[in-house]
Amino acid sequence: MLSLALGLVLGAAPGFLQPVPLRAEVSEDSDEQALLDLCHLPGAELQLRTRSNMLSSATLEALHRCRAPAVQLRLPLLDAHQDQLARIPRAQLLFELAPGEGLDWMQVSALGPRRLLVRVHGPLTAARAASLARLRNAEIELDLRGRAPNADELARFRDLARADRAVRIDAQAPPQLLAALAPLKLSGVVVEAPGNAIPPALLAALSAAPWPVRVALTWPFTAHQTAALARVHQLSLELHLGTLDDRPRHLKAALAPLQPDLSKPARGPAPGPVLDPALQRPPPHAPGSAHAPPPP
């Protein structure tokens, strides 16, 4: 079954400490059981890409049973859209703002105290920054792919201090860009990797970055490609998986280089004796052992 295949593919395997944190971006056309299985896997966060603000009843039911899925929405929001959102009260809301587009605070605030994910495409002008300044429980991501922001734009982005702030760059960005972003106190950097590869110079800069790094990969990718990411500290992955119908059976193998293998004996001093939890003293030794107490 698909649900079992997904569990075997993305779940933590014996001998691994924990799975790499995953943000799995999937289509609303995905199988509902696959959505449910995915969002319950350890370390995985489901992000649903939609064509409109109206979802099927089966998809809503799957999202309702998830911990905190993220669902893409578009403004304006009608009463019918808000009625559907009432069925998934734990859902985060994702807004993609096209160049020049702002966020209507009145509409967003009517949705209640939900976590918002806001991706800003194009320059962050003063007007757009003003529309985002009141957001608190939010992550604002500034898309810098293919462009270099000026000092004024970076200052406006830094002033959105009530929200978590991240930037999205592409794998062809110069490593010097990371140094220019250092004063922003970011919550993270997202790297889009066309071809699922990052040039060595940028990879070295990311390995020394002070923020969490999320690398966006598109299926299919290989274990050789993910192994190159193992040197990055505070790494997470954004997986663009498309439609979950018979999604990849070999995804676990592709992620294996990022999983600490605890199956090998650990080095270091041998552990001390296990204490009796009731008496807080070493448990009695077997009669006749070298350390057994003398008979009374």
Distance separating alpha carbons of residues 171 and 193, to the nearest angstrom: 5
* pLDDT for res 4: 33
Query: pLDDT in tens for each of the 296 residues of the chain?
Result: 333 334 434 443 333 356 689 999 999 999 888 888 888 877 889 999 999 999 999 999 999 999 999 999 999 999 999 999 999 999 999 999 999 999 998 889 888 899 999 999 999 999 999 999 999 899 999 999 999 999 999 999 999 999 999 999 999 999 999 999 999 999 999 999 989 999 999 999 999 999 999 999 998 888 889 899 988 989 999 999 888 765 445 566 777 777 655 344 444 444 444 444 443 444 444 444 444 444 54
- Say what the pLDDT of residue 28 is: 94
Q: Find, among 154, 158, 93, 104, the residue nearest to 134 by Cα.
A: 104
Residue 286 maps to a domain: no
Q: How far apart are CA 114 and CA 196, in angstroms?
A: 32
* pLDDT of amino acid 116: 97
Do the domain assignments include residue 84?
yes
Is 54 within the bounds of a domain?
A: yes
What pLDDT, on the 0 to 100 scale, is given for residue 221? 85
Residue 269 placed within a domain: no
State the pLDDT at residue 256: 74
Contact 231, 255 (CB under 8 A): no
Q: Is residue 152 one of the residues assigned to a domain?
A: yes
Residue 275 dihedral angles phi and psi, to the nearest 5°: -85, 145
Total domains in the fold of the chain: 1
| In a domain? residue 280 | no
Residue 267 within any structural domain of the chain: no
Asked if residue 276 belongs to a domain, the reply is no
**What pLDDT sits at residue 8?**
35
Give the per-residue pLDDT at 267: 46
Q: How far apart are CA 197 and CA 250, in angstroms?
A: 19
End-to-end CA distance of the chain: 64
**Could you tell me if 140 and 160 are in contact, meaning their C-beta atoms sit under 8 angstroms apart?**
yes
The pLDDT value recorded for residue 223 is: 87
Q: H-helix or E-strand containing 251? A: helix 251-255
Whole-number pLDDT of residue 250: 53
Task: Decide: 191 and 198 in contact? Cβ < 8 Å.
Answer: yes
Q: Specify the pLDDT at position 36.
A: 86
Q: How many CB atoms lie within 10 A of CB 6?
A: 26
CATH code of the domain covering residue 101? 3.20.20
* Strands (DSSP E) found in 50-114: 70-73, 92-97
CA distance 94 to 106: 16
Domain span holding position 32:
2-258
**Dist. CA 281–CA 61, nearest whole Å:** 52
User: pTM of the entire structure?
Assistant: 0.80
